[in-house]
Structure 1
Amino acid sequence: MSSFDASLVINVSHRLLTILLLLVGAFVKKICGDMNDMYAAEGGRRRWVWSQPGKYGTVLCQAFLGPLRRPTVIVSDYETAVDICCRRTKEFDRGSRNKECVGFTAPYFHFTMESRDPRLKAHRKMLNGLMSQEFLHETAAERIYGTTIRLVALWTLKATKAQGNSFSAREDLYLATMDMISSVAFDMNEAQCSLTSSINQLKNYDSEFRLPTKTEILSLRVPYFDAVMEETLRCAAPATLITRKATCDTHIGEYSIPKGTDLIVCLAGPGMTEERSIEHFEKAKPAAGIGGRQGVPAWPDGDIATYNPGRWLKKETDSNGHVREIFDPKAGPNLAFSIGPRQCFGKKQALLQVKCMITLLLWSFDFDKVKSPLNSDENDRLNNNDIEESLVNRPKHCYVTAKIL
């Protein structure tokens, strides 16, 4: 073979290989649908999901979120989400995503069951009363309070040893939450608690201090406190997406939704935790099949993304003419616990846990900005709101600088 022939063969082979690689790349991109874009998106997968409808000037759109899967409809509008979860439960049932996430480890967990599953009724009957005020105040509150006391004791020791420096709070908060749930569900005693083990590893433990009692916390009626909890849940958005599946051929407004279509319903995003295009929204919002806001007005423009507990307060005049501030849970859109008959079952207990922890921690410590003892450039990174996406969102950096009061 001459040098010319060899050069020709190499050139042709190179061109064929280039074409083949381009075809393979296009095929892979096509078969993966929108997943490559979603995983590469700045701000995380959830932000990519709830931002998609806005790109097309509508409240819902479709996306291809996996190979060989039907398109998934994304709903990023408060009114539409309320309509689907509250008034159209027979048309839109729980999707299969919950079962895919936790069904392997907890196949009989009611979280994974569709509403038409005959097992769900038995589960609800068994769990009936666990979120009643009597059970929460007489049983759950005592264990939640005890766990929080141990958390305060642990952080008192850590703050003493840290000497003004920041320390990691992530594992402590995780263990405290798990201890609360386990002690309420399984009547776990103090000796079995993870926090107790952590405290026992540190010396010079002193538990003699005066804190608000369980009864005092339960009777606490401070509107601004309730507003802080509600605003924290709105901005943190621990659960930002839920799934539904169409059980029949139906419509959302003017859009046809075939039976078996998966829906992703956004619990945060445009209109709830960040700005949206009102012009596009009003123009594209489906006219039919959408329920009202149930007395919930839209958030005013300009400060949706701002942390502002005052947005949940309103003034009220009593019969004596005195003006006072009260907490208004319907001040604006917030779906931190979802909504409707399949909303978070443990919502009341979760709020009780948050109330108890915030009260005792703020009573015991003065919290300052997180400071890196090694590198001042780390301060901004450690004080941001970046999250790790999982079944529920978790803070990527969870440190506290606590000064004992």
Structure 2
Amino acid sequence: MAFPNFSISTYAIAGVVFVLVYLLRRAALPQPIPGIPYHKKSAKSIFGDVPSLLRHQARRPEVFDWMTAQARELNSPVYQLFVKPFGRPKVIVLDHREGHDIMHCRSKEFDRSELFADVFSGAAPNHHIVLPTNAQFRAQRKLLLDTMSPHFLNNVAAKHLYKQALNLLELWRVKSRLSGGHAFAVDADINEMAHDAIWAVAFGSEVNTIRSQLELLATDPAVQEPASIEEAIKLPKATLPAEYEAVMVMSDSIEFSLRSPWPRPAHWLYRQTPTYKRANALKENLVQRHLEDAQRRLLKATSREDMIDCACDHMILRERQAAEREGRAPQYDTPIVRDELIGYLVAGHDTTSTTIMWGTKFLADNPSAQSKLRAALHDAYPEAHANGTLPSMQAIIKTDVPYLDAAMEEISRKANTGPGQYRKTTTDVDVLGYTIPKDTDVFLMANGPGFVEANPFEGHIREEQRSKTSREAKGRIPDWDETDISAFKPERWLKNGVFDPLAGPTSPFGAGVRGCFGRKLAMLEMRIMFTLIFWSFDLPQLSKGLSGYGAVDKLTHKPLQCFARPIDLLGKKEDSTTA
């Protein structure tokens, strides 16, 4: 049998190729950080921990519960994951004290993660979220900073939020009449209401997503009732306004990049699609139109601050004032201004709507808590209760209702809308006795031990392993009682009837300089929404088939099921309100 007669050069080339492949594979293999626990099997594969994650997602479309589970498997509150070939390990921290300390007291050692730039730079490359914490970041946040002031929230934002909430109440009354006692899906309703609300706050105009639904249902469309009262009914869906769809495409594009190991290339591919191009063109046109309208109204000699009707107006007036102080020409329409407005719209819509979805589920499944909330609201607004009308917008803003505050905080704790916070080390740091190198992404989990479930790692951590500031803060935020930590219990936030925001660990909005910019607006919207929903409706507990707690992790941690069977407690649409 004859064998091929290869030349020396052929063997040399083959040897070089073999070495290159070997070196490439070595480079692609995870490079564990010394001393930090990890799965040994994962370190031997170029795919790292990804196969384990994919097996988990084949059973349920969640990511963050899997991340929490790895800590239990490794029996450590600090561990590392390998989720990107050629990429650095990600370090996961599951300790509420240390996480709070990192966000509040160690901002010079931990900055925003590169993940934010990777995920958001395609859709909003000039938004402050993609910037490190520097002078430019601080300057850009000031563009909309006053929209979180009490004056703007109470006098501008609240009226828009209240009006859109009334639209949702009307929609649910119509749907309840058509549903014949069946439950119906409410996740899209809540999502669309939140979009209409933040749109109005941002631009002062109506996009009328909910009104589109009402117009369709007003025609009394044919509806097929399920055979069993335990089944949900499917109601007709209107064609939604193009403005709404454009914002949803922007949001979907961010989610698309978030799910990819390589977010920037993934978003570039998404931007090439005709759908994205149409949505982006519409979005640019809309923002330009609203900026021009604000300039026409507010740049007159007779313009006053009390003419501000939205965030866009605020930016125009503040830019004029800043330009006058600094002796420069004003810049009213720039890529930064546009991206800040779009970020305000997308972020303000998705997180709040998700939390409200979870809130309707928790309170429906906990009728005692729902009854206590309604009783507390009736006590807070006795005149409206006596007259059978809704509390006014001003009454909701001004009245202290401790049980409502407690319910909102408990909903936020249990919802895990944002299951954690990402940071990146700016230098070599020590966390709970482990050394984490510079430029390492660190995820501070808020969806597991110490937050919503018993903490198996409490005995693993010696006090001397904690940072100085963490040791000094011991006891400032007490641990939850682990006997009922997993339960939905608003009372845990009340001390002698007074709401205590520091009753125990929670982190729905992060903390420190990189904490959620829109926290105050989100809390105001939830205050108005939960007050009006549970004043107007009883949401009875549904069958297990309609009240599951599975979730999907996208931009937020969304419930897979969100059904309701609203029972009208007022018996009519409320246009008039009293205190």
What interval of TM-score do these two structures reach, taking the shorter chain for normalisation?
0.7 to 0.9
How far did residue 59 of structure 1 move? 2.2
* Distance in 2 (alpha carbons) for counterparts of 1:366 and 1:29: 55
How far did residue 52 of structure 1 move? 2.7
* Distance in 1 (alpha carbons) for counterparts of 2:519 and 2:433: 34
Q: Which residue of 2 aligns with 1:102?
A: 120
2:437 matched to 1:258?
Answer: yes
Closer, same or farther: CA 368–114 of 1 in aligned 2, 3 Å: same
- Counting matched residue pairs gives 358
Q: Deviations over 1:6-59 (max 9, x none)?
A: xxxxxxxxxxxxxxxxxxxx9997111011112323663201212333333432
Equivalent residue runs for 1:116-195 within 5 Å: 116=134, 118-189=135-206, 192-195=207-210
2:522 matched to 1:350?
Answer: yes
Q: Could you tell me whether the CA contact under 8 Å between 1:51 and 1:270 is conserved in 2? A: no
Equivalent residue runs for 1:6-405 within 5 Å: 30-41=45-56, 44-116=62-134, 118-189=135-206, 192-203=207-218, 210-278=389-457, 280-282=459-461, 286-289=465-468, 291=470, 292-293=473-474, 295-315=476-496, 325-370=497-542, 379-405=543-569
* Distance in 1 (alpha carbons) for counterparts of 2:488 and 2:140: 38
Higher helix share: 2
* Distance in 2 (alpha carbons) for counterparts of 1:98 and 1:108: 12
Does 265-274 or 150-159 show the bigger shift? Answer: 265-274
Does 392-401 or 26-35 show the bigger shift? Answer: 26-35
Q: Could you tell me whether the CA contact under 8 Å between 1:267 and 1:338 is conserved in 2? A: no
Q: Could you tell me whether the CA contact under 8 Å between 2:98 and 2:466 is conserved in 1? A: no
Closer, same or farther: CA 210–284 of 1 in aligned 2, 3 Å: same
Partner-residue secondary structure (3-state), 2:555? coil
Closer, same or farther: CA 284–308 of 1 in aligned 2, 3 Å: same
Q: Deviations over 1:56-91 (max 9, x none)?
A: 343211111121111111011111111111111111
Closer, same or farther: CA 283–91 of 1 in aligned 2, 3 Å: closer
How far did residue 221 of structure 1 move? 1.4
Partner-residue secondary structure (3-state), 1:129? helix
Partner-residue secondary structure (3-state), 1:73? strand
How far did residue 293 of structure 1 move? 4.4
* Distance in 2 (alpha carbons) for counterparts of 1:198 and 1:188: 18
* Distance in 2 (alpha carbons) for counterparts of 1:113 and 1:294: 34
Code of the aligned partner of 1:195: I
Gaps (5+ residues) in structure 1?
1-25, 316-324, 371-378
* Distance in 1 (alpha carbons) for counterparts of 2:492 and 2:51: 38
Q: Could you tell me whether the CA contact under 8 Å between 2:105 and 2:469 is conserved in 1? A: no
* Distance in 1 (alpha carbons) for counterparts of 2:423 and 2:429: 13
Code of the aligned partner of 1:238: T
Closer, same or farther: CA 121–27 of 1 in aligned 2, 3 Å: closer
Partner-residue secondary structure (3-state), 1:197? helix
Partner-residue secondary structure (3-state), 1:201? helix
Q: Could you tell me whether the CA contact under 8 Å between 2:164 and 2:196 is conserved in 1? A: yes
Higher strand share: 1
* Distance in 1 (alpha carbons) for counterparts of 2:156 and 2:118: 33
Closer, same or farther: CA 285–243 of 1 in aligned 2, 3 Å: farther
Closer, same or farther: CA 281–309 of 1 in aligned 2, 3 Å: farther
Closer, same or farther: CA 28–293 of 1 in aligned 2, 3 Å: closer
Gaps (5+ residues) in structure 2?
1-40, 221-387, 570-579
Closer, same or farther: CA 366–226 of 1 in aligned 2, 3 Å: same
- TM-score w.r.t. structure 2 length? 0.59
Closer, same or farther: CA 160–87 of 1 in aligned 2, 3 Å: same
